[in-house]
Amino acid sequence: MSGVKREQLAILFETMTSLERRVANEWNSRNELGFSKSHILILEFLATEGPKRPSAIAEKLKVTTGGVTVLTTKLLKAGFIEKTQNETDRRASQIHITESGLEILERSRQQVETLFEHLFGMLTADEIKTLRAIFEKCMRL
């Protein structure tokens, strides 16, 4: 690796670390609903894709099924999702979003939109598209 590329990657590391910290701090200070980004991603996934097994949620969020259990416990207790057993295989369960889950999801979408407008509102639509393409390329590793 060339010295220039090494230097640029070090600067990128610092920039990404600062951005991650800023996003986390802004999320924590503006989060009125008390749910993590992962909770909202679960609700969004269930709202758009329909009922899913915990393993499908784990794959989507890139976490373990144990991680899904931890995340869904809070949503289950709040009544935002429900877990049902498969009729033919009692070991298999499916999780689906409830009406109150859809309502809280809509509120969370507004919260996310406000946050991202604050963080990235200075970017043009083309810049956002380019940034997203770069992030997606990095995620393919």
Tens-digit pLDDT profile for residues 82-113:
999 877 777 788 999 999 999 999 999 999 99
Find how far residue 76's CA is from the centre of its chain: 18
pLDDT digits (tens, 9 = 90+) for 11-61: 999 999 999 999 999 998 988 888 899 999 999 999 999 999 999 999 999
Helix H or strand E encompassing 135: helix 125-139
Helix H or strand E encompassing 139: helix 125-139
Compute CA distances 43 → 32, 38, 98, 107, whole Å.
Answer: 16, 9, 9, 12
Q: Helix axis angle, 37-49 relative to 65-78, nearest 10°?
A: 80
Per-residue pLDDT, 130? 97
- Report which DSSP code applies to 96: E
CB neighbours of 41 closer than 8 A, spacing ≥ 6? 60, 61
CB neighbours of 2 closer than 8 A, spacing ≥ 6? none
Q: Which residue has the tokens 């770069």?
A: 134
Give, in words, the CATH class of 34-139: mainly alpha
- The residue extents of the domains of the chain are 1-30, 34-139
Per-residue pLDDT, 102? 98
